[in-house]
Amino acid sequence: MDLFRLTATEAADLMRRRELSPVDLLESVLERTAATEPVINAVTEQWIDEARAAAAASEARIAAGEALGALEGIPLMLKDEQPVAGRLLEDGCLLEQGHIADETHPIVERIQAAGAVIHARTTTPEYCCAPVTHSKLWGVTRNPWNPEYTPGGSSGGSGAVLAAGSTLLATGSDIGGSIRIPASFNGVVGFKPPFGRVPGMAPFNSDTYCADGPMGRSVADVALLQNVISGPWVGDAASLREIAAVSGEVAPLRGTRIALCLDLGGYDVDPIVEANTRQVAAALVAAGAHVDEVTLPWGPERVLATAWPHFGAVMGPFIESIAEGDPARAEQLMPYTRAFAASAADGGDYVEGLVAESEFYRPFAELMTGYDALVCPTIATTGLAADEPCTDSRAIFSKLMTLPFNVIGRVPVLAVPSGIAPNGVPTGVQIVGRTYDDAAVFRIGAALERELAMWTDASWWPTV
């Protein structure tokens, strides 16, 4: 077996039993990265020398019987958006080319302290402004399952490298679906933590829509990384003091009540996506859960009307500040970045938006008094072109069923695969918990993973 095909939890277990060398594992993923990068273009830079030194240090600690970190010896790639002091931080933008970060993101510090072998950074769209991953700076990132299609965005590079086997774990961030969209399109697992669960950096640590989170190839892998990066941090007043550990262990779902909502009140869901979502529901019933089909009074028009005032107050001004009122600088920005800023500028009154967000949450909260989780598709469509312009922000968001759960950002959302569309691109579902009930979505996701036996199967690999 190729070592890069191991899940992170499998690799960690083998290393602790001294049956796997961190050095050999790293060399396997480095070789795989070299083979896949010419096709998928998902890596901004590699830290090969440092990674080899880190893998050798892990091997020495294992051999000496020393205390090991939770991620000891596990290869991991970081989303480029998360800064590392002394390293490039370019945000996919020509205006940031060559920029060096002067501080390190707290989740990176925790990942380093846990013994992970960080060996590369992954691509994003410019300033994480699109659900696709292409930019003037880094070019087009492609989906390993079908390179004509996008791996999604904004954590598209992370999703692509996981699907291709170029690493075992990766980080992402999510302000409108940026972890869950790539998880769906790449057939991997991603978690959008509830607001405050994972510490962030100013200004977006105070944005209730935004969260940094883990991505992996199994529910247990994502739980492993989530437990490392979550918890309070002195630099983030919004970070929660409560420690909420999660697990990928499989447990019976007897007594678990799950609400199934296929269109969230009006999304135009592709028949394949619906069929694969119903397959998930059937698997949950087989695992012991009680599943009811329900409705919600949302739909894309209401979602956008509720969310745009927020984007207009946060992301819009941020992007406008980058151009500094200079037309020449603005011209260097990606068309989708300019289009997003323009849409956000017309978003509406922020205070009215806050009222709308509370009204938006109410029917979900009332529904969830009778259920442990909600299951729905992640994306209504089966794919977007790798170079999709994404200049019509509202039209694109009408296909993405992720944004509602950023509007109600205190809910945990685990994104897992649901099948494969005829174009070869995976589809996915979201498992949405009640506010701050992280453990429930992982428990349901682990049981579903066992029942479907799909994305952890040896056949679940793209042909790239």
Per-residue pLDDT tens over the stretch 348-388: 899 999 999 999 999 999 999 999 999 999 999 999 999 99
Rounded Cα distance between 189 and 201, Å, is 24
Rounded Cα distance between 128 and 352, Å, is 26
Residue range 286-298, pLDDT digits in tens: 999 999 999 999 9
pTM for the predicted model, two decimal places? 0.98
Determine which helix (DSSP H) or strand (DSSP E) holds 427, and give its type and residue range. Answer: strand 426-433
Banded model confidence at residue 407, pLDDT cuts 50, 70, 90: very high
pLDDT at 366: 98
Residue range 429-438, pLDDT digits in tens: 999 999 999 9
pLDDT at 314: 83
Question: Beta strand 211-216 with 169-174: parallel, antiparallel or unpaired?
Answer: antiparallel
Fold of 3-302+349-452: Amidase signature (AS) enzymes (3.90.1300)
Q: Which whole number is the average pLDDT over 164-178?
A: 98
Q: Which whole number is the average pLDDT over 112-121?
A: 98
DSSP string covering 217-257? SSHHHHHHHHHHH-S-BTTBTTS-SS-----------TT-E
Rounded Cα distance between 213 and 414, Å, is 10
Residues carrying an active site annotation: 79, 154, 178
324 secondary structure, DSSP code: T
User: What is the distance, to the nearest Å, from the Cα of residue 461 to the centroid of all Cα atoms in its chain?
Assistant: 19
Rounded Cα distance between 122 and 244, Å, is 28
Question: Beta strand 139-140 with 211-216: parallel, antiparallel or unpaired?
Answer: unpaired
pLDDT at 321: 87
Taking each continuous run of H as one helix and of E as one strand, the counts in the chain are 16, 13
Determine which helix (DSSP H) or strand (DSSP E) holds 163, and give its type and residue range. Answer: helix 156-164
Q: Which residue has 């009408």 as its token pair?
A: 398
Rounded Cα distance between 163 and 184, Å, is 11
Rounded Cα distance between 343 and 281, Å, is 36
pLDDT at 324: 81
Give Dmax over CA atoms of the chain in angstroms: 61
**Which amino acid is residue 411, in one-letter code?**
V
Rounded Cα distance between 150 and 158, Å, is 12
Beta carbons of 159 and 27 less than 8 angstroms apart? no
Banded model confidence at residue 342, pLDDT cuts 50, 70, 90: confident
Question: Beta strand 134-135 with 169-174: parallel, antiparallel or unpaired?
Answer: unpaired
Residues of the chain with pLDDT > 90: what percent? 92
Beta carbons of 137 and 44 less than 8 angstroms apart? no
Beta carbons of 332 and 94 less than 8 angstroms apart? yes
Quick check: 1 pLDDT over 80? no
Quick check: 160 pLDDT over 80? yes
400 secondary structure, DSSP code: B
Q: Which whole number is the average pLDDT over 444-454?
A: 97
Quick check: 248 pLDDT over 80? yes
Lowest model confidence (mean pLDDT) among 74-83, 175-184, 317-326: 317-326
Q: Which residue has 């499989």 as its token pair?
A: 250
Q: Which whole number is the average pLDDT over 250-275?
A: 98
Q: Among candidates 194, 176, 155, 187, which has minimal Cα distance to 77?
A: 155
Residues of the chain with pLDDT > 70: what percent? 100
Beta carbons of 225 and 214 less than 8 angstroms apart? yes
CB atoms within 10 A of CB 343: 20
User: What is the distance, to the nearest Å, from the Cα of residue 197 to the centroid of all Cα atoms in its chain?
Assistant: 15
Residue range 98-108, pLDDT digits in tens: 999 999 999 99
Quick check: 343 pLDDT over 90? no
Q: Which residue has 């005829």 as its token pair?
A: 422
Quick check: 347 pLDDT over 90? no
pLDDT at 81: 96
CB atoms within 10 A of CB 249: 12
- C-alpha distances out from residue 308 to 20, 268, 316, 343, Å: 49, 20, 10, 8
100 secondary structure, DSSP code: B
Beta carbons of 186 and 428 less than 8 angstroms apart? no
Quick check: 316 pLDDT over 80? no
Q: Which whole number is the average pLDDT over 320-344?
A: 89
pLDDT at 325: 79
Domain boundaries, the chain: 3-302+349-452
Q: Which whole number is the average pLDDT over 256-272?
A: 98
- What beta strand segments (E) does 43-188 contain? 43-46, 75-79, 117-122, 134-135, 139-140, 169-174
Mean pLDDT, all residues of the chain:
96
